[in-house]
Amino acid sequence: MSVNTLNTYLRDVNDFVRLAGVGTVLDSLTHNDVDDIVVVYSQEPDRRYKNGEHTKSVGITARFRQSVAGFFTFCERNTFLRRNPIPDTVVRPRQPEASDHRRALTLETALAAITTPNAGLVTALAHRNHLIVRLLLETGVRNSEMCNINIGDVAERDGDMWVHVRHGKGDKARSVPITAGTHALINNYVTSSRPEAAPGDGDALFLSVNGRRLTPRDVQNVCKKIVNTLPYSVRRDFTPHALRHTMATLALAHGSADITVIQRILGHSSLAVTGKYLDEIRGELVRAVNDNPLTGSTH
Give residue-wise pLDDT tens across range 104-124: 888 888 888 888 555 555 577
Active-site position among 169, 174, 212, 282: 169
Lowest mean pLDDT among 12-21, 173-182, 218-227, 290-299: 290-299
Active-site position among 244, 245, 254, 287: 244
Active-site position among 54, 164, 212, 241: 241
Provide the percentage of residues in the chain whose pLDDT is more than 90. 38
pLDDT at 4 over 70: yes
- Which among 135, 154, 160, 161 is positioned nearest to 146, based on CA atoms? 135
| Active site annotation includes 166 | no
- Which among 23, 38, 40, 41 is positioned nearest to 89, based on CA atoms? 38
- Quote the strand ranges of the chain, DSSP E: 154-157, 160-165, 174-178
Distances in Å between the Cα of 291 and the Cα atoms of 46, 123, 251, 283 are 24, 28, 9, 17
Q: What is the CA radius of gyration of the chain?
A: 22
Residue ranges, CATH 1.10.150, the chain: 3-88
| Active site annotation includes 225 | no
Give residue-wise pLDDT tens across range 48-73: 776 666 778 888 888 999 999 999 99
Active-site position among 142, 194, 254, 287: 142
- Which among 36, 35, 26, 137 is positioned nearest to 83, based on CA atoms? 26
> CATH: 3.20.20.60, 2.40.160.40, 2.30.30.30, 1.10.443.10. Which one for 107-291?
1.10.443.10
Q: How many Å apart are CA 100 and CA 278, to the nearest integer?
A: 14
Element (H, E) at 44: none
pLDDT at 214 over 90: yes
pLDDT at 247 over 60: yes
Element (H, E) at 22: none
Residue ranges, CATH 1.10.443.10, the chain: 107-291
Q: How many Å apart are CA 248 and CA 250, to the nearest integer?
A: 6
| Active site annotation includes 48 | no
Q: Name the pTM for this structure.
A: 0.61
| Active site annotation includes 241 | yes
Q: How many Å apart are CA 240 and CA 222, to the nearest integer?
A: 9
Q: What mean pLDDT comes out for the span 216-228?
A: 91
8 class by beta-carbon count within 10 Å (0-12 exposed, 13-18 middle, 19+ buried): middle
| Active site annotation includes 276 | no
Provide the percentage of residues in the chain whose pLDDT is more than 70. 82
CATH code of 3-88, in short, is: 1.10.150
Q: How many Å apart are CA 189 and CA 207, to the nearest integer?
A: 11
| Active site annotation includes 130 | no
